Amino acid sequence: MVAEAERIDRLAKGTAQWNAEDVVAWLVGMGVNATVFQTYEIEGKDLQTLKEKEIRSMVATNNTPEQVEKVVEAWKGLKKKDVLDSTPKNVQSQQKKGKKKALLVGCLYRGTRNQLQGCVNDNKYIQYMLVQRYEYHPSNIMMLNDHQQDPKYLPTRNNILNACTWLLRDSKPGDRLFFQFSGHGSKERDYSGAELDGYNETILPIDFKRAGMISDDTLHNYLVKPLRKGVVLHALADSCHSGTVLDLPYITEPDYSNFFMWKYAAARYKAGGGGDAVLFSSSRDNQTSADTSSFTGGIAATGAMTYCFIKAVESKSANTYGELLVSMYSTLRKAAAGQQMAPSAGGFGMFSFLLSGGMGGQAFNQCPQMSSTEMFDLKKSLKL
């Protein structure tokens, strides 16, 4: 109690920043009923920019007019001192648990013979999922795609690599990062002898003909090698030949009963920086990926891997890493067999927001694959 009293005293003197909990304690100390205030949307608002009428609304219930005026006058004093925390409480809570940041890249290659249809849709779907289900703040999500008007956010080679640096910048233990690439993938000859098949896997920025492709070696150096211990990176690569595009040492593949097992391939991979990286890829190194609208009944083009990933999360059938892989594998198998599957009605509304219809009719020569810096129990809870 003494410590709390000292805290309130420091707050009143303007020597500490006020957050939502501090304001509630302050109101109680003034003899004001704070129940309505505590459950009001202040937990998602910028405290410094709240208006007088909002304050009155918060404390009007079960308080006398004199108490309301007392609070309003005190609030004005706090605003003048500029001690109110400008960070919404939901972001404060996220900061205590660790920061979440995401980089989403979608390449359409518009106006070229390499043009794709669904990659920007993939960006939007994943952004919606991260915000609605995993509580990423929109201001911490960077999107690079062909629809951007600002040249800084076009998915060029230089912009992608700069954005990768941004993603890992100032990361600390407890932070969770997400990287998505949706576009073309390819291969290039490896002359170092490090790749068993003699080729580096690559992703293609929109200016790859001029600036070059981005190899798995480069992605590893930008996204995996700098990872600090305690930082977790999840990546989703929806492109051809993307099975090992981050050069991670452990790979999962389905066995004869369609359960996924770990495979060790460290001889051709490089060590990371101590953090944990997990890659979900849309195909093995020798497979190609599908960019299609058949999953969504011809309504919205999307990458097959992105669709299956979000569908598993939406249906809430992917609570673990293993369940996620099995769900994606099952969806791709059903697509290859031409079966129809309507989007789920539950979850966080992903498909009601962006997609409708069913899927089927097109064969997809793909197998979802997960690779990681470390082997772990596939029954481990999925937390992005």
Query: What is the rounded radius of gyration, in angstroms, for the C-alpha atoms of the chain?
Result: 25
Q: Which helix (H) or strand (E) holds 121?
A: helix 119-134
Question: Which residues partner with 232 through β-bridges?
Answer: 176, 276
Q: Which of 107, 119, 164, 240 is catalytic?
A: 240
Phi, psi of 170 (to 5 degrees): 60, 20
Max CA pair span of the chain: 80
Q: Which helix (H) or strand (E) holds 352?
A: helix 350-354
- What is the rounded distance in angstroms from the CA atom of residue 122 to the CA atom of residue 107? 10
Secondary structure string (H, E, C) spanning 324-349: HHHHHHHHHHHHHCCCCCCCCCCCCC
- What is the rounded distance in angstroms from the CA atom of residue 242 to the CA atom of residue 286? 9
The SS3 of residue 87 is coil
Q: Which of 107, 164, 184, 367 is catalytic?
A: 184
* Interaxial angle between packed helices 304-314 and 321-336, expressed in degrees from 0 to 180 and rounded to the nearest 10: 130
* Interaxial angle between packed helices 119-134 and 304-314, expressed in degrees from 0 to 180 and rounded to the nearest 10: 20
- What is the rounded distance in angstroms from the CA atom of residue 344 to the CA atom of residue 138? 25
Q: Say whether 240 is catalytic.
A: yes
Of 302, 285, 306, the closest CA to residue 293 belongs to 302
Q: Say whether 241 is catalytic.
A: no
Q: Are strands 232-238 and 250-254 parallel, antiparallel or unpaired?
A: unpaired
- What is the rounded distance in angstroms from the CA atom of residue 37 to the CA atom of residue 28? 11
- What is the rounded distance in angstroms from the CA atom of residue 382 to the CA atom of residue 136? 15
Alpha-helix residue ranges (DSSP H) falling in 223-320: 304-314
* Interaxial angle between packed helices 52-59 and 65-81, expressed in degrees from 0 to 180 and rounded to the nearest 10: 140
Q: Which residues are catalytic?
A: 184, 240
